[in-house]
Structure formats: structure tokens, C-alpha cells
Amino acid sequence: MKSFSRRSFLKTTALAAATAGWSARSWGQVAGANGDVRVAIAGLNGRGKNHLASLGALPGVRVVALCDPDSAVLARAAAALGGGVGTYTDIRQLLVAPGIDALTIATPNHWHSLMGIWACQAGKDVYVEKPVSHNVWEGRQLVAAAEKYRRVVQAGTQIRSGEGLQEAVAWIRSGALGRITAARGLCYKRRDSIGKTTGPQPVPPSVDYDLWTGPAPLVPPRRNNPKNGPVHYDWHWIWAYGNGDVGNQGIHQMDVARWFLGEPGLPRHTLSVGGRVGYEDDGETPNTQVIIHDYATAPLIFEVRGLPAAAGAAVMDRYREVSIGNVIDCEHGRLVTGSYFTAQAYDHDGRLLREFKGADRHMGNFIDAVRSRRTGDLFSPVGEGHVSSALCHLGNISHQLGRAATEGGLREKIRGDAPLAEAYGRMTEHLAANQVDLGKTPLILGFPLALEPAAERFTGEGAADANARLTRTYRAPFTVPALA
């Protein structure tokens, strides 16, 4: 599908006759503004199930269409709704169907930006799961699409919707614990081996693999976990489709860390240390990683650990009692988030100073903005989602351009960076507890990247190679249009 104007879009779709009398003003409004908001969901095998549940709990909302390139998944979701909904394997057919006001996107990452842009061009409001992009450039194009076509676009970083976290951010920014010295995000989440195949795997007959692949290169799958099969879920650990746990889980924690810092854009420098260790499988992305983003306010430090606390253990490590969450270090104490919507503040003696509580109001906030047309009311507008998604991509680019380094050599290289050296030291202790021999499977010392934050481009040494990774070669007709 090519980039198109409203006029060309209407001329080439089934909407032409139905909308011939619409004015430019009505095109910017919601067809269901005075009645039910009619929503379609794309991607039904993972987060799409949560979308169904969240939308089903909201008054005045109807799920009217479903889309998934796996006909078996699509049929199950339609049956769960009791029928009466439109079903599509091709998102392009859904977008030209009448009677749809908004689209929620829960597909694999490589589809997020393009599908969101197409939906904006088709006059739909959009809720797009995290990360909002598969690479930095296409995320910026989605932001531009929301602005150009005047659509409501919410990023699925739902932690921002909790009243407790909103209060916590305001409290920390007020200086209640002094200045921030480091904003940490943690993703200590068990990730077992996905197994090792010996060659290309057959695609299940229910999957339209051309549509599933979309913008990515059309190559046979090279994974086949007994639990997930050759297509679903484990795409997270394959570069062509996913962004590793940095972009899967870590996007939430990096978003929260940046939120506390109050930094609106990208950092000045980025560096990654990590690798895929502890097993050899078909996965490509790191299962152990530290990324440090150099911000003027304070460093943003993010850690991934997919291995358990020790070899054979059933539990994961914790850092200051947190395994998945954030630790915001300040001059006079710290704030920790042990769940998505609660936080606790402590002084340096460990005394609880204040507790913050809230709940997930994210999908409801999106629907409210769809009705009001006030994008400023969104808890996580696509521009914020883009910047936090880009943080994931920057860390991965540093890793992809890096080189294997000996343990001693790596430690020497980073010893001048105290926060990174401290996190690396804890990482090596963790790997030793898992009996990982860094002499046999060395970690990757990422390439140190310098950025021009406003331009969202790399500068200095290595800039040419790094800038080439800000985007990708798209497979026609699934090409992300250049709008910014």
C-alpha cells in the first residue's frame, strides 16, 4: 500500500461511496462520537487478548472487527466474542471497512509503526503496543502521521496511567529527595533457551506468512520452540522482528526512568555491554545486558537478566528488592517500583517515607481522548512512546556494532564509567553464579555512540554505520512512508 492522501485513499477503497459527502471537518471527528466507539484489534495471540479484556470493560465501546494473519488464532478470538464481528487476515482490508473508529495494535514489533501509519491515513485513531517502532526512523514517521492526519495515537506504555506513579514522578521532580543521581530500570525475567533447529522450519498452514512477515525480509522461520512453534512469540529474540527484552519488557522500565528524569528527548551518549549466554539456541538478541544512556540530569541505567539467580535456581535476582521495575536513586534516598502501579520512597536508612498506589487506566484514557479529540489528555502520546522506544533501539545498535571482549579487557575499557562499571561487576557475579565461562562465551562491548538528540542522529566516530541502523530496507508493498 502506497502513501496516500485522503482523496486517493477514498477513491481506492470501499469507503468511497459511503463517505462521499463527508466534509474535511467530519473526517477529523469520530463516527461514534455521540454513541459507541467502534474498535478493531490487530494481533490476537498475545497482548491482543488484554486489549479485548480492557475494551470489554469500558462502557460505550464495541469491538467490531478483528485481524490476525493466523486464521486459527483469528477464529478463536472471534468465537470468544460470540461472533458478530468482522474478521480479517489482511489489515489493509480491515482499514477500508466502514464503521470502525479506532484500531488497537498488538502485533509483532516490526508491524507497529507501519500499521499505525496506515490506520492514521485511513482516518482511524490508534492505540499501539510498545515499543511503538522496530527502529528509530519509523517511530518518528508514526509521530508525523499522528500530527499530519490529526489522529489520537496512544502508546501502550500503560504505567504512565497510574495515579500513584504520576504522583511519585511529581514528588521526586519537586526535589523531595534531592536531585536524582541515577534512574535505573530492571528486567530480571526468566528466559529459557528456545531450542536449536538445524534449518528452515515449515510454516503452519493457518498462518499467512507473507502477511505476518510484512515489512521484514521474507525468509523461512529458523526457530521452533515446542511451546511457541516456528512463528509465534519467539520472534521477540530475532532481530528482523523483535528487539529483545530491551524492547519487550524493558521499554516499560526505560520509559519510567526517563519520565522521572524529565528528559524529553534522546541522550547524549549510549553504550551497551552484554550477550546471549548460558545456552546456545536460535535466539539472536542478548539475554544479559546493561545499557547506559548519558543524560544531563543523571544517567539512565537499564539491566536485562534472563538467567536465574544461580544455576538450577527457580528464582530471579533482585536489586534493592526489585526484579522487574525501577530504582530512582536520589541525594537523600531512593524510590522503588515493585509493580507497575505502586511505588515506595525510602531514606538512606531504609525508613519508608511515602507510598504511592494506583491502577491501569490506559485504555480508558485512550477512549476518552478518542471521544474528546483532546490529544493533550493522553497519558502516553505517541511522541513519548517514540522517544522511549528509541532508547531501546539505541542500546541495541551499540550492541550490534560492538565486539567480543575478554573479561579483563572489558573491565579496563569501562572502569572510567563508575555507574556502568558497578552494574557490570554485578553482572559478572550473576553470570558466575550461573556457571557461565566468559572465557568461552565473552560478552560484547558495545560501540560507544554519540548523538545529536534533536536530530535523532549519531555523530562522530562510527556514525555512518550507526545511522544506517536507524532504519531498515522495507519489503514492498509493506513500505513505511517518509512523512518526517
Residue 15: what pLDDT?
35
Bridge partners for 37 per DSSP: 61
Q: How far apart, in whole angstroms, are the C-alpha atoms of residue 147 and residue 131? A: 19
C-alpha cell at 183: 534512574
Task: Delimit the domains of the chain by residue range.
Answer: 6-160, 163-358+381-468
Residue 457: what pLDDT?
98
Q: Looking at the domain 6-160, which fold is it? A: Rossmann fold (3.40.50)
Using a pLDDT cut of 70, give the percent of the chain over it. Answer: 93
Q: Residue 78 pLDDT > 80, yes or no?
A: yes
Q: Residue 24 pLDDT > 80, yes or no?
A: no
Q: Residue 310 pLDDT > 70, yes or no?
A: yes
283 exposure class (CB count in 10 Å sphere: 0-12, 13-18, 19+): buried
CATH classification of 163-358+381-468, choosing from 1.10.1040.10, 3.40.50.720, 3.30.360.10, 3.40.50.970? 3.30.360.10
Quick check: 371 and 165 in contact, CB under 8 A? no
For residue range 216-226, what is the model confidence (pLDDT) as tens digits? 999 999 999 99
C-alpha cell at 282: 536460535
Confidence at 20, pLDDT banded by 50, 70, 90: very low
Q: Residue 296 pLDDT > 90, yes or no?
A: yes
464 exposure class (CB count in 10 Å sphere: 0-12, 13-18, 19+): exposed
For residue range 347-395, what is the model confidence (pLDDT) as tens digits? 999 999 999 999 999 999 999 999 999 999 999 999 999 999 999 999 9
Residue 1: what pLDDT?
36
For residue range 201-218, what is the model confidence (pLDDT) as tens digits? 999 999 999 999 999 999
Bridge partners for 126 per DSSP: 103, 153
Quick check: 237 and 247 in contact, CB under 8 A? no
Quick check: 304 and 274 in contact, CB under 8 A? yes
Global confidence as pTM: 0.93
